[in-house]
A and B are shown apart, each in its own frame.
Chain A
């Protein structure tokens, strides 16, 4: 075995190293052999003549031996493969038009498929570049109704969790914004807090400096004031300066030392140690756990259930009664997310497009191959085996596919990041900082090229290589094509039509579902609204009255800015299509079923004017009522119908227990708040749980009832570009509170786009693009087939025309074989669409088996006619043109 490997290796080297040296050496050696022999013969007494002849006879054929040694020296198959590839490249150069069309076609297919695969790879296949990501699990609690809930642990409980026998390590996390000062205007930094073991847990290998570890304490469990910059933030805020390590930055007016820069892919702007020590009773999100290698999920589940049950006894308020622990791998959450299916569907569509491109190239090669029959017949006549011809033809398609893959991968490399820039961030997670065309993606692209060369080359190769030496001697040889040849064409055309129909049906369905989405009344006006959120510096404005006044000052200041029509405020909830979360409520005299609990928004009364949410009945509370935190509420029409069907909602009372007292250190309940609200008005519904679902019941209460540590301002502007006002708004905020940063600024339209609008649009745009491309390819394929078949029968048609046949008769004759292919393709395509429809029913997409299909059928026929008409031109010009 080893010997053979070694021999093969040396032969490979000999092949790659070129034959010149080796070839000379063999001839020299054989020459020397012959000379020795002749000399011996002379010594034995022969004449020179006889001696030479005898030696030659004895030695055998020189040429053959050189050939044999050459074969043995290198790897013969590799040699002839190189030959094939060279030959193929020559052949492509000889027919540049065909080569360009084929390479471009394949580049489109391979490029789109590779681009989408790079997304699938980054988002679904390999999204976590953490160490031991496969053993990392999300820990959550399921309430008795099955609703998931996060796990919150104190410092001491985290220590216990980390010591559990199934657990290798666990981290506590938190995330909120901090204000970075020191620049022109204060800046908001998305901050990820990790317990000190966090960076080690994630296996962060810093590109600069170091990570923080459990050694970074100031004693007593208080972490050192250090910060790790995210890669993106380092590049954008610090211009990628290599000397950032050791610099001091002001975060929420406290100095922190930069100790390192994280590699791409870890999110956030900065990473800061979580201070778990200063308040031992506070609980932090502790959902991320890495299990020990080889731990069974169910074993982990039962041990952690026992541990959590113990914790629940210590702090019952954080654990729902009768909870169950759920342990799920990180990747599971990812694959169940809302973006997974659209992504997979787009990838499937790209694969379909790739198949269509392969079939198109097959059709083209076959039509072109007909013009090469003479060349192939000559090759056969001088002894090429069928296998050899197939190999040569396959080498040609391999060369085309590799060229196509090169162009396609370059296109994917260049285009993917650019295409994603159109999308709001987080339409697909984790892709912002990823290198798209990575090793595995590249490998995938090359694999596609090989697959493509087989898919597009095999059928023409097998058809064209059929033995037909006899044809060589027939005058009309060039145009001779046997029945098999025609059949291959028909099958390919049918396949092309079928896949095109499938792709178009999917595209049509996607477009219609987007149109349905676009036509859904929004219930508010997203245009010209600037949405700005501002967070209070950590631990500031701890008194309710001071905080309420401060927020109102900010709002009033913004409202008084020129070009601002109205400025409303919301605590945490933000703007549609996704706002807030459901809260438990109680209504006197009836029980509220679990699914009906409303979303409770805390807003200032101007919110409705700013978003143009119509007040349908009653009134909105006054500014004075708002300042007093009066217990009033405005409900949506949907909530009014669900809660008080047939009754007047105005004057009804509703109790929201969580608004009765502060639930954490970050929120402040109004003094004397009891959670009771009286309904004073009804407003229209707006999307609040995403665009794909009907609005959930919702109610609005004065924001002052429960103040948070941040506020979202919805600002209706008179200008066309709301973001242009951002600077002014920031300056207005500065004037009230120096150091106050804007956490996030976007338009209401951006929010709508980010809520899935843009992703849907993108997916539909992709699918439409694929559909149009497939249609174009179908036309190209049909055109080439019709022209080919017309060219083949040009004499026959000429004679028929001369004998008085009408053009329509000729058209029927020329198109009849294709009509069958197209009909068969349509039938198969419709059948496939129906199957795909069943598979896709889960996605919010329309019906693939609707009139779209009929339109496609019509289109295909239309193009068919056009192709046919073009094909007839030579007949009219010169009926006798045969070859």
Chain B
């Protein structure tokens, strides 16, 4: 996987999961966290992150509010909603199932 590519659909789950683990977080924080977690194999730029955040917000999984960050800057924070939490559970289950199925194809001997 080249460094910039993030599969459509997986980014949403990464964002939701990140917010679930870290609590309310601003866009920059989310981006850095995803890059760290991926061991800097992923690069999250504005163009991928902000449309995704907006979409999640429009779908009702996130809400946002402006607040002051740790280093005293104003930033827009994203917070998980109740439906967002349910969405994580469902998406995680689906994702696990999908990777498991795919794994059987990729290494047939172990099945």
Interfacial residues, chain A to chain B (CB-CB below 8 A) = 3-4, 6-7, 10-11, 25-26, 28-30, 32-33, 35-37, 39-40, 58-62, 64-65, 68-69, 72-73
Contact = CB atoms under 8 A, between A and B. Distances in A.
B58 A33 contact: no
A112 to B, nearest CB: 46
B47 A32 contact: no
A32 B76 contact: yes
23 contacts: A3-B59, A3-B60, A7-B55, A7-B58, A25-B76, A26-B50, A29-B27, A29-B75, A29-B76, A32-B26, A32-B74, A32-B75, A32-B76, A33-B27, A33-B28, A36-B26, A39-B71, A39-B73, A62-B46, A65-B51, A69-B50, A69-B54, A72-B51
Q: A-B pairs with the 10 shortest C-beta distances? A: A60-B45, A65-B46, A7-B58, A36-B28, A33-B28, A72-B51, A10-B58, A3-B59, A32-B75, A29-B76
B69 interface: yes
Contacts of A26: 50
A6 B26 contact: no
Contacts of B60: 3, 6
A33 B31 contact: yes
Contacts of A10: 58
Interface residues of B, number: 23
Contacts of A35: 73
Contact of A36 (B45, B55, B75): B75
B43 interface: yes
B70 to A, nearest CB: 10
A324 to B, nearest CB: 67
Contacts of A30: 46, 50
Contacts of B32: 40
B85 to A, nearest CB: 15
B45 A59 contact: yes
Nearest to A33: B28
**Of B32, B47, B74, most A-chain CB atoms within 10 Å:** B47
A72 B50 CA distance: 10
A72 B28 contact: no
Given A29-B50, A32-B75, A69-B50, 15 more contacts: A3-B60, A11-B58, A29-B76, A30-B46, A32-B28, A32-B76, A37-B28, A39-B73, A40-B32, A58-B45, A60-B46, A68-B47, A72-B54, A72-B55, A73-B54
A65 B43 contact: no
Contacts, number: 73
Nearest to A4: B59
B56 to A, nearest CB: 10
Contacts of B74: 28, 32
A61 B47 contact: yes
Contacts of A60: 45-47
A584 B75 CA distance: 100
Interface in B85-104: none
B55 to A, nearest CB: 6
Nearest to B54: A72
Contacts of A59: 45-46
Interface string B64-79: 0000010101111000
A58 B55 CA distance: 22
Contact of A32 (B43, B54, B73): B73
Given A3-B60, A32-B74, A73-B54, A65 B69 contact: no
A4 B61 CA distance: 12
A15 to B, nearest CB: 12
Nearest to A64: B47
Nearest to A36: B28
Contacts of A29: 27, 50, 75-76
A65 B50 CA distance: 8
A33 B29 CA distance: 8
Nearest to B56: A7
B47 A58 contact: no
A11 B51 CA distance: 13
B78 to A, nearest CB: 10
Contacts of A6: 58-60
Contacts of A72: 51, 54-55
A36 B47 contact: no
B13 to A, nearest CB: 15
Given A58-B45, A59-B46, A60-B45, A36 B71 contact: yes
A61 to B, nearest CB: 7
Nearest to B83: A3
A26 B45 CA distance: 14
Nearest to A40: B32
Contacts of A36: 26, 28-29, 69, 71, 73, 75
Contacts of B59: 3-4, 6-7
A29 B94 CA distance: 32
A7 B47 CA distance: 20
A36 B31 CA distance: 11
Given A36-B28, A72-B55, A65 B75 contact: no
Contacts of B71: 36, 39
A58 to B, nearest CB: 7
A668 B58 CA distance: 85
A64 B45 CA distance: 11
A60 B26 CA distance: 18
